[in-house]
Structure 1
Amino acid sequence: MSTRPIRRLTGHRISSQQRTLVLLCVLTGILTAGVLMWPTTAPLTGLTVPLLLGSLLLGPRELPWFVVFVMVCLMFTIAAQEEITSRIVLAISIQFLLCFIVLVTSFRRSRLGVGGVMGESMFIDLRDRILSQGAVPDLGDGWMVQGALRSAGGTPFAGDFVVSTRPRHRNSYELVVVDVSGKGEQAGTRALLLSGAFGGLIGALAPGDFLPAANDYLLRQDWDEGFATAIHLSLDLDTGAFELRMAGHPPAAQRDAGSGRWTVHEGEGPVLGLIEDAEFSVVNGVLRRGDALMLYTDGMVETPRRDIGLGIDRMLGQAEGLLRGDFDGGADRLVDALGSENDDRALVLVHRR
């Protein structure tokens, strides 16, 4: 259907939302006319189709008016019925109930300001762009970094996230693994915001300044559940020397290629977002040829019935068997084998070949 006649009458160019509204109103009018002309043949439930399309395509400004228009058309279809049976009453009642549900949904969407499909696509695009900050940059020959993330209940949103970068001014690699308070979709929105903020901080600050800056940022948010744990790795790609700083986070584990044993690197530092002017101690180490370093969240090692220390021992035991002689795909294998599906889980494996 062309919108040029409408544009000539109104004197201005109509928006895509207004164009969609016009098309849906025409479709609703055609279906209503069909019921009026053939009341015993045309189904009353046909108006559900434009109502559903409107809930998906129209914005919060146009949708309430369209719902009112559909309800008016429903009243005309009632008047066209020769006999009002209980079946017709039930069908019309369901139609009005659907109109009410869509109307309430439109009021909730007005807080976002965009329609259903557009709002969802914007949110998904935002999630993908921010989470792409956890993608591993090219570290050159001799290094392999793998990450795996699983959210509670299998949803695409999680309270655990990873941000990494390779600073331009030095041959190093920086990585932070974060666990936001809560899990699944409840923590997902805060994790998206924090991952964007942390992505701007990491690499732009000296390694020792990152966690204090992240702590100050969280304190400024003034959230009811505004805390998070984190572990920050700064790795020299030339020498293999690394620095670890932890903020209430489970310790990293290093595998020595010579002995085949795992060493746990404990560090001190408070949870982010709780204490002003917090200080975070540094743990130093070196990754030699064949060594590996594992960073993870508490969903990998902690359950309501198991102490975190026992969980770490179990994880390292699994790693000994699953990673022996083959680190490729090791992060995914460990995440799939450990932790609870009801908790967010994240793990990063850094291996020097």
Structure 2
Amino acid sequence: MTTASPTAQRRARPSPARRALTRLRRRTTTAENRLALALVLFSITVAVLVSYFPEQTPFTSLVLPIVLGSILLGPRTLPWFVIFDMGLLTYCVAQQQDLSARTVGAAAVQFLVALIVLLTSFHRARLGVAGLRGETMFVDLRDRILDQGTIPRLPEGWVVESALHSAGGTAFAGDFVVAARSADGRTVQVVVVDVSGKGEDAGTRALLLSGAFGGLLGALPAAGFLPAANDYLLRQDWDEGFATAIHLWLDLTTGDFEVRTAGHPPAVHRQGATARWSVLRTEGPVLGLVADAEFGVERGRLEPGDDVLLYTDGMVEEPSRDIDDGIDRLMATVDVLLLDRSRGLAERLAERIGSRDDDRAVLAVHRRG
């Protein structure tokens, strides 16, 4: 008799991760089966009450199990539950002794609701989870990815603020911010990105890109980020997959900085000692359109009291107004807002200027004097 070697036995034995996943699937399936059974019993109870106690139980109560099922059940169980409830509804209609026009209308509306829920369940089958669970997963994914845009903790003497406002006030936007600090803590890199489209239309692409760009930002030197981001977008081969970006590398010890742009509005630098502004214009193509693109760089130094601002075009572009006029207005507004530094500059700036029909993002870096 041949005995398997210890190595072969280890290979045949499921890994701890696979066993844990199997247990999780079993628990999920068992919980959903119990929930489906509870809803079936609830449906039968409602059907009995409607059939035998019509004066005390509204006929429209039959829609309650269908609505609850659409919220709680997964796409595999929900169609069968809806069909079962439609059968109960047909039985209750047949038990009515006086089929008035109102009762027929109520039954027709409930059949229509059941049909809508049934069609929705087929659409949800692409995701594979129930309604509330799918929404929770999506919100959790959004929050986890957007956490990458949280500005890392900086040493004393530095203030970095960011603000993001989406078109229409939705929770999803085509603009996002990603930041990463070096392992030795000496430098920080920040990128502000504007994905093609706006609001919810660009939100899914922005979620994907923010995760990818967050990984690139922490793994590459300053000069390598935009070329790598451009290559990544080209590989996606999206029909509408381009994006503009502005990248800032900052030495937290000396104040030296480098700015690079990819088809993006330029950064602006304010000298605290003289209150003079300078526009940091650099050249670079939009991400995702041109292979082997090259990106120019503008270098400078933030002295104590200086500020530098990165922003998206929603902050400076409006119909029938030149972008340079928008940049001038932004700098003038900042001068006014800086009279009171006790409140956040970025958030106040995003609320005061920019187009309400476009996503708006702004990041402000200040070196305390």
TM value normalised by structure 2: 0.91
Moved segments of 4+, more than 2 Å = none
SS where residue 179 of structure 2 aligns?
strand
Q: Is 1:98 matched with 2:149? A: no
RMSD of aligned residue pairs (Cα, Å): 1.2
Relative distance call for 1:40 and 1:81 in structure 2 (3 A) is farther
Q: Which amino acid aligns with 1:318?
A: T
Alpha-carbon distance in 1 for matches of 2:245, 2:219 = 18
Among 80, 87, 90, which residue is 1:72 paired with?
Answer: 87
Q: What CA distance in whole angstroms lies between the structure 2 residues aligned with 1:138 and 1:328?
A: 19
Q: Deviations over 1:151-183 (max 9, x none)?
A: 010000000000001010450010000000000
- CA-CA distance at 1:309 after TM superposition: 1.1
Equivalent position of 2:169 in the other structure: 154
Task: Tell me, yes or no, if structure 1 residue 180 matches structure 2 residue 201.
Answer: no
* 1:50 and 2:72 correspond: no
Amino acid at match of 1:315: L
The answer to whether structure 1 residue 192 and structure 2 residue 207 are counterparts is yes
- CA–CA separation in structure 2 for the residues paired with 1:180 and 1:83: 60
Partner of 1:108: 123
C-alpha contact (below 8 Å) 1:327/1:351 kept by paired residues: no
Q: Would you say 1:34 and 2:49 are equivalent positions?
A: yes
Mapping of residues 180-329 of structure 1, within 5 Å: 180-324=195-339, 326=341, 328-329=343-344
Deviations for 1:203-253, whole angstroms, at most 9, x for unmatched residues?
210110000000000001111100000000000000000000100000001
CA apart distance, 1:49: 1.4
Please state if 1:86 is matched with 2:101.
yes
* Equivalent residue for 1:22, pick from 37, 53, 57: 37
Q: CA deviation at 1:104?
A: 1.2
Q: CA, structure 1 residues 207+88, in 2 after alignment: closer, same or farther (shift >3 Å)?
A: same
Residue matched to 2:21: none
Identity of aligned residues (%): 57
**CA–CA separation in structure 1 for the residues paired with 2:279 and 2:41:** 68
1:61 deviation in Å? 0.5
The superposition leaves residues 17-58 of structure 1 with CA deviations (integer Å, 9 ceiling, x where unpaired) of: 111111111100100011121134321111221111111111
**Secondary structure in structure 1 of the residue aligned to 2:121:** helix
Moved more, 311-320 or 234-243: 311-320
Q: Please tell me the residue identity of whatever aligns with 1:128.
A: D
**Distance between the aligned counterparts of 1:94 and 1:54, measured in 2?**
17
Tell me which of 140, 146, 161 is aligned to 1:131: 146
Q: What is the aligned length?
A: 342
Report whether the alignment pairs 1:350 with 2:368.
no
| Residue 186 of structure 2, aligned match among 145, 150, 171 | 171
What is the identity, as a one-letter code, of the residue corresponding to 1:307?
D
- Structure 1 distance, partners of 2:113, 2:198, is 32
- Which amino acid is 1:255 matched to? R
Opposite residue 284 of structure 1, the aligned amino acid is R
Decide whether the 8 Å contact of 1:39 with 1:80 is kept in 2: no
Separation in structure 1 between the aligned mates of residue 363 and residue 102 of structure 2, nearest angstrom: 59
Relative to the length of structure 1, the TM-score reads 0.95
What is the aligned partner in structure 1 of residue 7 from structure 2? none
Q: Distance in 2 between matches of 1:242 and 1:43?
A: 70
SS at structure 2 position matched to 1:186: helix
Structure 1 unaligned residues grouped into runs of 5+: 1-11
